[in-house]
Structure 1
Amino acid sequence: MTGSAPASPSGQARRRCFKVDLHTHILPRHLPNLNERYGYGDFIHMQYDSTCCKTDMYKGQHFFRRVEDTCFDSDARLRDCMDAGVDLQVLSTVPVMFSYWAKPDDALDLCQLLNNDLHQTVKARPDRYVGLGTVPLQAPDLAIAELRRCVKELGFAGVQIGTNVNGLNLGDPSLFPFFQEVANLSACVFVHPWDMAGESSMQKYWLPWLVGMPAESSRAICSMVFGGVFERIPGLRVAFAHGGGSFPGTIGRIEHAFHVRPDLCAVDTHVSPRSQLGRFWVDSLVHDPSQLQAVVDLFGEDKVALGTDYPFPLGEARPGHLIESQQHWTSERKARLLYQNALEFLGLPPTYFDTRVRHTLNPY
């Protein structure tokens, strides 16, 4: 494996690297009215445009956001993949769908709706899509059961979860059985920020997305590091969105606190935060070349994987461009970030692209 894509149908070798996009989101084309289905709450409701090229998302009765057809039309997103040279997309739901506040049985029903729909999308194009399911993490036993179904029956590589569960940190002991089962199944977990602390006080300037999300990712990493999750479950594969959020920029403060206030920070583990770097992955979505360099320097070139947040505006419009534009990097390092690290995180073999079946719709 040289890191280059195979020859085109004309026999000319393509001079580019494979790309696996670890961080993309998708919704069902048709979603039932969940508020009517469950009889309460501010579940997401979709109002589809008659042209089917976009849809408005409502949280209860309040407008949440508008999404284009690439968020729910697998053919439209496949065309984008081809145009951008993305060979494999990892699909996960939009985090607002987690609904950790809902009644456990209703949340399980919603997760099954999302996962069954995602399964059909992946099943139609297994050469282009890999699925990450959704689980009702407010009820760990139900989450474990749905995790098993996602992996064993639906063929997903793992699941996506939020950075907290109704305020409960991911390092809480009540979640250990869930993470242990992830490891037992040789599955993976992608952690995406949601339910940002202080969101109601910073509505102006889009601050929940600009400040709250990076802080949430750091919160999740710190809680799992200080909680000893990676120490106790060494085979656990976890990746965090947005380059680990604000964690890389505050690692010095975090490490310092661990040593000067062990009575507060080292109560559940004696392994320092820096010593745990390299035990988890982050994606590359940082939008700045110097920050990407810092992320690679901190976590290691084998623990950073391409992620774009497709199809949303805060994502990387040209998948992999930030990685490819690092002129001082070797082609080997770029290949690691563009696809090899993602394959390892997903539990796919390094030879994945040597053996996969290509459909005729794929021009490569």
Structure 2
Amino acid sequence: MSVIDAGVIDIHAHAVLESTFGAAGRYGPTLDTDETGTPQFRVGDYVLKGVRYRGSAFMDVDLRLTAMQRAGIDYQVLSPNPLTYFHFIETEQAVAFCRHHNNVLAALIAPHRDRLGAFAALPMQDIDAAIAELTRAVRDLGMLAGYVGTDLPHALDSADMDRFYAACVALDVPLFIHPGPLASMGRRETHVCGASIWMSSPVSRARKQSPSPH
């Protein structure tokens, strides 16, 4: 197969799922409009204004497939809205939300498996719960990877994360780490990939410091 014949795969495509609204209890998410008719998407105490999710490819799978066709995208992997990671809410709420979100997303793509795949939302405040949900999402729902943000309860290079990474290896799935603002920079401030600090994925300093052979 030549480059010209290769299919085009988009692995960074967010979905907003109506059936998940309110699934995190008081944290939402909710979607409504203010007094001026401006849409507002609420997660906890944060409100995002002006993004018209309804009537767009974010929420309408037919519009998404049409947009993919128009853009020449053969296959797209859908992932959670970054505002709904819920990595820092109560564990019970996060587990329930991620499970429901993954079920809804899997049902959404089921009729379009030739065009759409999915990444799993994970409750990263509890490593064992995250492993359990990743395992269920991959084995039972056919999801392709785990999906987390850069700002986690456990640092990406923390020993607490070792068994989570081991689970990814055992399941033979990658982990998508979505770039985003970090609550605290620490050494991530100088160990990043990309041009912008807050829109970059942190790189671990876990490599050994050894003299160059040259």
Q: Shorter chain as normaliser: what TM range?
A: 0.7 to 0.9
Rg larger in structure = 1
Cα distance change on mapping 1:151 and 1:55 into 2, 3 Å:
farther
Cα distance change on mapping 1:28 and 1:97 into 2, 3 Å:
same
Instruction: Identify the residue that residue 104 of structure 2 maps to in structure 1.
Output: 117
Partner SS, residue 130 of structure 1: strand
Partner SS, residue 119 of structure 2: strand
Q: How far has the Cα of 1:61 moved from its partner?
A: 5.5
Confirm whether residue 174 of structure 1 aligns to residue 156 of structure 2.
no
Higher strand share: 2
Q: Percent identity?
A: 25
Confirm whether residue 92 of structure 1 aligns to residue 79 of structure 2.
yes
RMSD: 2.6
Q: Which runs of 5+ in 1 are unaligned?
A: 6-16, 200-209, 228-268, 275-364
Higher helix share: 1
Q: How far has the Cα of 1:211 moved from its partner?
A: 4.8
Confirm whether residue 46 of structure 1 aligns to residue 46 of structure 2.
no
**1:194-213 equivalence runs, <5 A:** 194-197=180-183, 211-213=196-198
CA contact (8 A) 2:131 2:167 kept: yes
Instruction: Identify the residue that residue 76 of structure 1 maps to in structure 2.
Output: 63
Name the aligned partner's letter for residue 167 of structure 2. E
Cα distance change on mapping 1:48 and 1:179 into 2, 3 Å:
farther
Name the aligned partner's letter for residue 72 of structure 2. G
Instruction: Identify the residue that residue 105 of structure 1 maps to in structure 2.
Output: 92
**1:1-364 equivalence runs, <5 A:** 1-5=1-5, 17-34=6-23, 38=25, 40=26, 42-47=27-32, 56-60=40-44, 62-65=46-49, 66-68=51-53, 69-166=56-153, 168-197=154-183, 211-215=196-200, 217=201, 220-221=202-203, 223=204, 226-227=205-206, 269-270=207-208
Aligned length: 196
TM-score normalized with structure 2 length: 0.81
How far, CA to CA, are the matches of 2:60 and 2:178 in structure 1? Answer: 22
Q: How far has the Cα of 1:194 moved from its partner?
A: 3.3
Q: How far has the Cα of 1:33 moved from its partner?
A: 2.1
How far, CA to CA, are the matches of 2:46 and 2:116 in structure 1? Answer: 32
**C-alpha offsets along residues 294-343 of structure 1, whole Å, 9 cap, x if unaligned?**
xxxxxxxxxxxxxxxxxxxxxxxxxxxxxxxxxxxxxxxxxxxxxxxxxx
How far, CA to CA, are the matches of 1:33 and 1:135 in structure 2? Answer: 17
Q: Which runs of 5+ in 2 are unaligned?
A: 186-194
Q: How far has the Cα of 1:130 moved from its partner?
A: 1.2
Cα distance change on mapping 1:61 and 1:99 into 2, 3 Å:
closer
Q: How far has the Cα of 1:30 moved from its partner?
A: 3.0
How far, CA to CA, are the matches of 2:96 and 2:182 in structure 1? Answer: 25
